[in-house]
Amino acid sequence: MSSGTSGSNGTVEPKPPAEWRTYLLTQRNRSAGRESTAIAEAAIEAGIDAIQLREKGVDARQRYRLGRRLRDRTAGTDVAFIVNDRIDLAAAVDADGVHLGQSDLPVGVARERLGPSAIVGCSASTVAEATAAAEAGADYLGVGAVYGSDSKAVADRKDGIGPERVREIAAAVPIPVVGIGGIDADNAAPVVAAGAAGVAVISAITAAEDPGAATRDLREAVADAR
């Protein structure tokens, strides 16, 4: 895949993970009462590279409806549209790919179900997890939580692994690394300097008074650090 180019069917192909500088994960309950589609639209207009349908705590049917809306809004753009956790939902909404956690179905299953052109990402917080995911055929890694994060349930929260772990993982794998967890425009630079292709965020964009301006600020911070 190549960024911004038209495929043989005339559609615009999504940017590959190596070109993802900014990556938005949707979460309505962290969006100041606004709809996730509105947040996504603002981010797309501001130049976001990838959007993930996250929406923890929402039932599958609601996620499906939101996924269809997000697919409609990313269609015709080079913004990659990814679904969190659910291979079946990614297929149902015709997403560009899926992002899997360490407790989700294996990378190989996603590849088998979604096909060779699908973008398959995997979360990792250690070098061992990262190398295993890369060897299994993942296209990119979501590495973190870099600075810790309050986006997970209390029982699932972890202290941040820090940019140095990002550096270790980026050096150990041949696929792009995206830093995630507690990242915003003020602290993105060390993550990128450590070798991350870009950064993934929730609240830094969803909770911002102006999500479009927040997206542009994040893009600028990543660009300056590269």
By annotation, the residues acting in catalysis are 54, 123, 152
Q: What is the DSSP letter of 209?
A: S
Helix/strand/coil for 200? strand
| 102 known ligand binder | no
Ligand-binding site membership of 149 (annotated): yes
Query: Is residue 27 within 8 Å of 202, Cβ to Cβ?
Result: yes
Annotated binding residue at 25? no
157 is in an annotated binding site: no
C-alpha–C-alpha distance, residues 192 and 163, integer Å: 8
54 annotated ligand binder: yes
The residues, ordered by sequence, that sit 6+ positions from 1 with a Cβ below 8 Å of its Cβ are 13, 14, 15, 16, 117
Sign of CA dihedral 199, 151, 144, 185: positive
Confirm whether residue 15 is marked as ligand binding.
no
The residues pairing with 120 across neighbouring beta strands, listed in sequence order, are 98
Q: Residue 104 annotated as binding?
A: yes
**88 assigned ligand-binding residue:** no
Residue written as tokens 């994040």? Answer: 218
The reply, when asked if residue 152 is annotated as ligand binding, is yes
Q: Is 40 exposed, middle or buried (0-12, 13-18, 19+ CB in 10 A)?
A: buried
Packed helices 60-74 and 36-45: angle between N→C axes, nearest 10 degrees: 20
Q: Annotated binding residue at 2?
A: no
Please identify which residue in the block is written with the tokens 């055929």: 137
203 assigned binding-site residue = yes
Binding residues: 52-56, 84-85, 104, 123, 149-152, 182, 202-203
Binding residues for Mg(2+): 85, 104
